[in-house]
A = this chain, B = another copy of it.
């Protein structure tokens, strides 16, 4: 049977502090493009790979990580869009497009198909299925609607607001009639928030030495909903600004992932007087809402009421750098790696 070469990104070893290029390397193996006879496996060609902040946690050894650490010496994996080349599974056929968990390589043999979704429509960019129509989209949807139970007119703050999730939370909040302020780390991103995503206001947190007074300036009436992507001192500064019965969805804490010891939060006492809820969540608990989400979001995309900004790098060999870039905020919008366009 004919074998093809398969470029792969290998995870070298557990990381402490900021990950670098040197923590991953490229290799080339060979593989057959057929699934083993009698198996229920699916063989795919990877098209788009997703770089997501949660992947940093998998670079550290832990027995508690909710999806497990990467294995030193093995191929990285994560969300991707792929095309089925061969299938032993009744639900998938050659030619199908799917999104779900795949390898950081050109071709992947999937022995578990539980986390795969078939892509139902292709009149939107395929890469959207690792962004607005994939895990980050569902994260924004579940976190904002299910955890934050937003109401028209409420004051909403989103950190890391131009990222894969944040840009959507802000737009969802605007569609609902909330007042929305976002923060990001460059002028370019702040402009994007205001000009492209329609946030009511936005600021560059790196230019704000005093976050407490900054938040007071942007939210003189206080904050009803904080969609937290960063944790750390920003979360601590938000706590005393929360309004009565405020809600904080803790989606991620990217500011903390590369720290040896996390920053201490001193303002938690505020949550008593203001009766604030802080809720951590994982998108995997909400995938049952995916059809409902698609029904809501697809028309908005087609009518141009929701836009989605991606930061695209070409080539698997550039994937490590793209992933690392997340942690210094190098990406503008959702970080996508193009392995192949078809």
Q: Which residues of A contact B (CB under 8 A)?
A: 64-66, 231, 235, 250-253, 256, 261-282, 285
Tell me the number of copies of this protein: 2
Q: Which residues of B contact A231 (CB under 8 A)?
A: 268-269
- Verify B264–A269 contact, CB threshold 8 A: no
Chain B residue nearest in CB terms to A278:
B278
- Verify B266–A264 contact, CB threshold 8 A: yes
Main secondary structure of the interface of A (DSSP, over half): loop
Which of B264, B268, B273 is in CB contact (< 8 Å) with A64?
B273
Interface hub of A231, A265, A266, A280 (most chain B Cβ within 10 A): A280
Q: Which residues of B contact A66 (CB under 8 A)?
A: 273
- Verify B278–A282 contact, CB threshold 8 A: no
A207 → chain B, closest Cβ, in Å? 25
**A235-B268, A268-B231 known; A282 vs B273 contact (CB < 8 Å):** yes
- Verify A275–B266 contact, CB threshold 8 A: no
Q: Which residues of B contact A256 (CB under 8 A)?
A: 269
A186 → chain B, closest Cβ, in Å? 25
Which of B262, B273, B285 is in CB contact (< 8 Å) with A280?
B273
- Verify A272–B282 contact, CB threshold 8 A: yes
**Cα A253 to Cα B266 with chains together (Å):** 12
**Cα A279 to Cα B251 with chains together (Å):** 16
